[in-house]
Amino acid sequence: MKTSLAAVPYFWTKQAYQDFYLQVADTDIDTVYLGETVCSKRRSMTMQDWIEIGSLLASKDKQVVLSTMTLLEAESELNYLKKIVQQGDFLVEANDMSAIQVANQASRPFVAGNAINIYNNQSLGLFNRLGMTRWNIPVELGQEDLKPVIPQAKALGVELEYQVYGRMPLAYSARCFTARHHDLPKDRCQFKCKDDVEGIPVRTREGDSFAQINGIQTQSGKVSNLLNHWQKLHAAGIDYARIVPVAPDTTLQVIQSLTHAIACNQPQVDFTDDTREYCNGYWFQMAGLEMIA
């Protein structure tokens, strides 16, 4: 089984990104996704900065994939998307239909991000004909949901990727929840999301985890954790175990622990973190916030 690291969903400084990926380059992760997927106002990194980091990672035998935005709202964002697709060095992760259309028109293969609504064999076949070579499966699809779809994906030669760690992406909005939290208009947000390494937690009145605010994105309050079930995912036909970054140090620990367990074929991943609440119910056909040991 291979491992992948999703694009960082949070807004970090240029130095923080560079330091993080410099350390990622020395791990045994197989594939690394790069780029901004949430908000186009986050401009600490230029296209050239991402290309340079990608070149560094590629020199360390990592497959590099450039990720596109999930919600496009302006012509400038579409133009930036076209630049990502037109660069010829790296594969592209398409996170909305405009990216798929641009990639298809350019005859470029792509990874379908988990915001793309693929839930059955008909959709799988359609996107494969458009150029999809890998499917990052939506987090709400469990093992029983996937049983009819995995054989079709294998027959088409489509690689399958499933999230095993990280907060789940739940929704995107034209509104910026971080700006609203700070009583600021979206157009004058003061880049407040840079103050939060992994977003702002939201709890119910009873104090339970509810969600995580990340700009225009809403994430799960609990962190999805299927690390100790990686062998079950592999046996089901999943090709890539996907890690979605949280804080840099924790993410690096997860990468090292998971890649070591896979290399040694160990069912248990030697990773513990009591500072976060965990869930994995979707894979087991349960409510997503449930946690199966």
Q: Compute CA distances 293 → 5, 116, 166, 255, 272, whole Å.
A: 23, 29, 16, 20, 12
Which pair of tokens denotes residue 159?
A: 């690689």
Decide: 193 and 11 in contact? Cβ < 8 Å: yes
Give SS3 for 87. coil
Residues paired with residue 200 on neighbouring β-strands, in sequence order: 213
- CB atoms inside a 10 Å sphere around CB 221: 23
193 known member of a binding site: yes
189 known member of a binding site: yes
264 known member of a binding site: no
Which of 190, 194, 271, 168 is closest to 17 using CA atoms? 194
User: What is the C-alpha separation between 85 and 66, in angstroms, rounded?
Assistant: 8
279 known member of a binding site: no
Which of 41, 44, 50 is closest to 21 using CA atoms? 50
**For the CA atoms of the chain, what is the radius of gyration?**
18
Residue set of the binding site for [4Fe-4S] cluster: 39, 176, 189, 193
Residue set of the binding site: 39, 176, 189, 193
